[in-house]
Amino acid sequence: MQPTKLWTRDFVIVFAVNFFLALVFYMLIVVIGAHAMQEYGSSLSQAGLVAGIFVIGTLLGRLIIGQFVDALGRKKTMVIGMIAFTIASGLYFLSDSIATLIAVRFVHGLALGVSSTAAGTAVAHIIPRDRRAEGISYYSLSTTLSAAIGPFLGVWLLQHTNFNWIFAACVAVATLGLLAAMWAQVPEGASHAGLRGFQFSLANLVEARAIPISVVTFLYGLCYASVLAFINGYAVELNLVTAASFFFIVYSAVVLLSRPLTGRLLDRKGSNTVVFPSCLFLALGLVVLANVQTGMGLLVAAVLIGIGFGNLQSALYAVAVKVVAPQRMGLATSTFYISMDASLGFGPYLLGLAISEIGYRSLYGSMAALAVLGMPVFYVLHGRHVARLRARDALAASAKPE
């Protein structure tokens, strides 16, 4: 039988790979715009392009690599992605214009898309099937930790050193990720051996069974994008900048504490028991945010949104890989992250247009309504099938030879 131990050597190693990947991303995202303006005199729109082009590269990387993860091999794909990511981290030293910086950001995003998709696929095969949701909840904490540490580290380095030291730190962190990837032992199985190479067709670019849950992911990603992109501007308007500086620290702490519990609950009771309450917590947090007057209110919103979106993200990812055959997990992972990247990457532009028309408070009220609307969408696309899918999985587990 497949072992039920979760925190195995290889799970920890792939956890570390994803942590190092995300740490580099978050270290740079908070300083790269300032780098573009200070070093090359770019405009605000150009600085925004420097930040945003990374997401486009990531999307393209995920779109292409989904079918390669199993065709080429999970570990091999992860190592190749990490080599590319490490090299791309060093290309910032060679940038000498805003055009080359944009090109470097695109290539770096492409490498992240490949690496993180491969790591996510690898860990889905390392985690025991009967603890998959719990394992994914723990694995997702690697991104949560990097989201809490990365921005702080990037800003601290900018205040005490210069951009070259930041880029050097990114190369060092990426190298650690590469070494970890090379050390991992990832189960390949016989499933990938007969697969052909790259084929440019819709069926080989996205996993059809993961599209419904990816639609739901996109909707809730928009809700979180409104917080991620505009909470600081909203805090300035409310004169709550000090409290806002603790917003994501509180958010990350809540996610760290709650995800292990919700992961186990999802495995034992099914996704409906986690997704629907999380949607309500997210909606409530956005309502509090839309009406906030004090710093304490802002932090209460952080707690509620952490319980809500923080657990939705891992729960929806667990669903995406649970509904497909093992040999299609690479494409399922890619499809899920494409929808998440699209909402977090392009959402701020669309939501920014909305803010100019209706203001911050109305935006967050609208996002709360979207969080509620997402509940029947989830039910129609997946929730009504949960009992049947759990019965299928139970039958498959009982039929599996000892």
| Residue burial 82-121, b: 16+ Cβ < 10 Å; e: rest | bbbbbebbebbeebeebeebbebbbbbbbbbbbbbbbbbb
Nearest alpha-carbon partner for 265 in 134, 128, 129, 132: 134
Element (H, E) at 163: helix 163-183
pLDDT, position 17? 96
Helix (H, G, I), strand (E, B) or coil at 399: helix
Q: How far is it, in rounded angstroms, from Cα 187 to Cα 389?
A: 25
Distance CA 234, CA 44 (A): 19
Distances (CA, A) of 111 to 72, 86, 118, 234, 337: 16, 9, 11, 33, 14
Distance CA 90, CA 97 (A): 16
Q: pLDDT truncated to tens, each residue of the chain (402 aa)?
A: 445 788 899 999 999 999 999 999 988 887 887 788 888 888 766 776 787 788 888 888 888 887 677 677 888 899 999 999 999 999 999 999 999 999 999 999 999 999 998 998 888 889 888 788 788 888 888 988 887 788 778 878 887 888 899 999 999 999 999 999 999 988 775 544 444 555 555 556 678 888 999 999 999 999 988 887 788 778 888 999 888 878 888 988 898 899 888 888 888 888 889 999 999 999 999 999 999 999 999 999 999 999 999 899 889 988 888 888 877 777 888 888 889 888 877 787 788 888 888 999 999 999 999 999 999 999 999 878 776 666 665 555 555 543
Cα dist from 33 to 45, 167, 245, whole Å? 10, 14, 19
Per-position b or e across 260-294, b if 16+ CB within 10 A of its CB? eebbebbbeebbbebbebbbbbbbbbbbbbbebee
Using CA atoms, how far residue 149 sits from 140, 145, 307, 319, 359, in Å, is: 15, 6, 19, 28, 30
